[in-house]
Structure 1
Amino acid sequence: MRRVNRWFPLWMIAFLLIFAAAWVFTGKYIYETAAYVDQGCWGNLSNRPEEFHPRYWGIETGHDLSAWWFKDYREIELIQEKEDLRINAWIREGETKAPWILFVHGLGSCKNSHTVLLPAAMMVHEGYSVMLLDLREHGASSKIDLLHTAGQEELQDVLSGWRWIHEVKGIAAKQIGVYGVSLGAGAVALAFAEEPRMGAIWLDSPFADMEKIVRSESLRLGYPTFLSGGAKMAGQLFGGIDIMERSPLEGAGAIGNRHLFIAHGKQDERIPPVHGQMMCDTAKKSLKPQGSVECWQTRGKISVDEGRKITGHAVGMLTEMEDWNLRMKEFFGRTLQLKP
């Protein structure tokens, strides 16, 4: 008995070390799976402003978007010298001094996706100038490790685009809007918190809490949710960043006298609508008299491959296209003061 008691502390230490290592390395797998940036752009790499089609899993949905195609755009690069990054973008300029809107895509997507091309086209038809950029690790922009940071670093890409419009094109801050989808919405919200001159943003299917997303990813992969803490630590140990450090809720809470529109699908399986509601509730609590918050829950799903693949994530611009167009026209027309 004494011999057992003597070895018991060593056994416990060994067990705890093995458990801790398993916790961290399982967390690393969850982190890298959740943060991995697929380079396929959901099968939309062939899209261009002059001809684009909506695709999910590389399969066309059948929506005819030809009425929205536009030309006279050009490609530019935004150089981030401190990080040695090149952010690729398309711009299409309207009339002199027309308001601008910056469009930011979601995870594993790119500027070639209909999720940003279609709303950008809607605004081009209204006379706005637009920029569509590829976030780092996506599309034609710089690649480092093919992992996203839940907006922690991507917010700098958003700010680069916004500042280029403001400083290079000479557009007043009050006439620059920003539109973000999914991961892009999170990055835009964080940029909104960082840049007080950013006056009006539209968030499509935003996440509010990355910890909730990682927990969902743990369950999807068949792991218990307590391992999400291991994913957080793995990000710090192996990626050098805490992907949960800052939350898009910061942007909602920093609204003040500025303007925010949140659209979120009721049947979104990837980022549940509770995230959009959290953003909405937080913004309303921090709203000042001259600001505005609009929240809209959209309906519908998109199915492809004869119904074998279905999604409700960031599909509102297709399922409610006419209403989406009208609401964008009203929101940006009011907040950016587009002149007729």
Structure 2
Amino acid sequence: MKKILSLSVIFLTFFLLGVGYYFSSSIISFPVTSLEEDKARLKIQSVSEFGLPEPESIRFQNGSLRLRGWYFKNPQKKKCGVVLLHGHTRTRYGILKYAPVFWKRGCSLFAYDARRHGESAGEYGTYGYFEKNDLERAIEFFSEISTVPEEQIGIFGASFGAATALQYAEGRNDFAFVIADSPYMDMRSIVEKRAVDFYSPLILFLSPIALSIAEIRADFLVNEVSPKEAAKYISLPVLLIHSKTDEVTPVSHSEEIFQNLKSKRKQLLVTDWGASHCKSIDVRPEEYESIVNSFLKENTSFRK
């Protein structure tokens, strides 16, 4: 009986570790969407659809990691720039719909594929833990090639990109602003929410194992991936936008972040337009643009 019990415990342990490893892969080594796949999914023919010229293809390094993206040089030559950050498992094509808001203001734009996304390298994705360091290098590189001072560069992010931007902003005052559309408040919450959506609440007993294995494999700390905690140390202007009917990331995530924001120049817009995740701009583009413009006018040195 003892032998059977011991074997059962060993079998269960290996089973849980095996299943945990499998789910850790879906968290940090998810399938990579190519640029062409994302372009086709979004039914984009050309960047000209967004009123943009053909971009300069760029590549830059953060240590040994190679990242690739686009640089759009604005002919108005105003000293302002915006870095655009896409969502999870998407590419820089997915962030282009926001570009006209800033392009019309005369700002140059910089969009790149996050690590383990699109054309960029990277074995693992870490929900902002290492990506915020890539963003630091991206802003430096953007400033170098555009001659726009870093303090005149703002960050716009959607979903995972929004969460990355907020984590980067923690304790900094050397860039212009953050506009975050539909961010998650921390990695653990969003991973567990999506696991339940895809499978069932029963999956939650496996999440601590999967996340622990993910930490070991990718050499990071899940509990330190938290825009909600980072918000306590953000003093820069921040605009949060979130749809009340977001089915992927509940609006409560932005509400929690907003409550924690140290900044006195902060705004939370909860849209009640019936939009799904990161689709507020699709439902009412003119109103969305007006809200962003008002925020920039009231809280930054960006002027039309």
TM-score normalised by length of structure 1? 0.79
Give the deviation of 1:297 after TM superposition: 1.0
1:96 aligns with 2:94: no
Identity %: 19
1:298 aligns with 2:271: yes
Q: How does 1:157-306 map to 2 (within 5 A)?
A: 157-193=134-170, 195-219=172-196, 220-222=198-200, 223-256=202-235, 258-283=236-261, 286-287=262-263, 291-301=264-274
Give the deviation of 1:148 after TM superposition: 1.8
Q: Distance in 2 between matches of 1:127 and 1:320?
A: 22
Equivalent AA in structure 1 for residue 189 of structure 2: K
Q: Distance in 1 between matches of 2:14 and 2:255?
A: 37
Say whether the 8 Å CA contact 1:104–1:179 is kept in structure 2: yes
Q: Which residue of 1 aligns with 2:65?
A: 84
Q: Distance in 1 between matches of 2:99 and 2:268?
A: 20
Q: Secondary structure at the match of 1:224?
A: helix
Q: Distance in 2 between matches of 1:18 and 1:240?
A: 27
Q: Distance in 1 between matches of 2:130 and 2:56?
A: 26
Q: Secondary structure at the match of 2:290?
A: helix
Q: Distance in 1 between matches of 2:16 and 2:109?
A: 45
Q: 1:41 aligns with which of 15, 34, 38?
A: 38
TM-score normalised by length of structure 2? 0.87
Q: CA 1:193/1:111 → structure 2, altered by over 3 Å: closer, same or farther?
A: same
Q: Distance in 1 between matches of 2:11 and 2:220?
A: 24
Give the deviation of 1:83 after TM superposition: 2.4
Equivalent AA in structure 2 for residue 201 of structure 1: V
Equivalent AA in structure 2 for residue 330 of structure 1: S
Q: CA 1:335/1:73 → structure 2, altered by over 3 Å: closer, same or farther?
A: farther
Q: Which has the larger radius of gyration?
A: 1
1:70 aligns with 2:52: yes
Say whether the 8 Å CA contact 1:47–1:112 is kept in structure 2: no
Say whether the 8 Å CA contact 2:154–2:175 is kept in structure 1: yes
Q: Distance in 2 between matches of 1:127 and 1:239?
A: 39
Q: Secondary structure at the match of 1:188?
A: helix
Q: How does 1:137-148 map to 2 (within 5 A)?
A: 137-142=116-121, 144-145=122-123, 147-148=124-125
Equivalent AA in structure 2 for residue 41 of structure 1: D
User: For residues 218-258 of structure 1, what are the alpha-carbon distances to aligned partners after superposition, in whole Å with 9 as ceiling and x for unaligned?
Assistant: 322234312110111120233333344321123311122x1
Q: Which residue of 1 aligns with 2:20?
A: 27
1:112 aligns with 2:93: yes
Q: Secondary structure at the match of 1:50?
A: helix
Q: How does 1:115-126 map to 2 (within 5 A)?
A: 116-126=95-105
Q: Secondary structure at the match of 1:112?
A: helix
Say whether the 8 Å CA contact 1:99–1:336 is kept in structure 2: no
Q: Secondary structure at the match of 2:48?
A: coil
Give the deviation of 1:97 after TM superposition: 4.1
Say whether the 8 Å CA contact 1:176–1:198 is kept in structure 2: yes
Q: Distance in 2 between matches of 1:167 and 1:230?
A: 43
Report which of the two has the higher share of helix. 2
Q: Distance in 1 between matches of 2:226 and 2:45?
A: 32
- Give unpaired runs (5+ residues) of structure 2: none
Give the deviation of 1:203 after TM superposition: 0.4
Say whether the 8 Å CA contact 2:172–2:234 is kept in structure 1: no
Q: Secondary structure at the match of 1:338?
A: coil
Q: CA 1:227/1:317 → structure 2, altered by over 3 Å: closer, same or farther?
A: same
Give the deviation of 1:157 after TM superposition: 2.4
Say whether the 8 Å CA contact 2:158–2:181 is kept in structure 1: yes
Give the deviation of 1:105 after TM superposition: 0.4
Give the deviation of 1:301 after TM superposition: 4.6
Q: CA 1:89/1:184 → structure 2, altered by over 3 Å: closer, same or farther?
A: same
Q: CA RMSD in A?
A: 2.4
Say whether the 8 Å CA contact 2:244–2:274 is kept in structure 1: no
User: For residues 109-140 of structure 1, what are the alpha-carbon distances to aligned partners after superposition, in whole Å with 9 as ceiling and x for unaligned?
Assistant: 11112xx2122112111222211111122222
Q: CA 1:323/1:11 → structure 2, altered by over 3 Å: closer, same or farther?
A: same
Q: CA 1:214/1:84 → structure 2, altered by over 3 Å: closer, same or farther?
A: closer
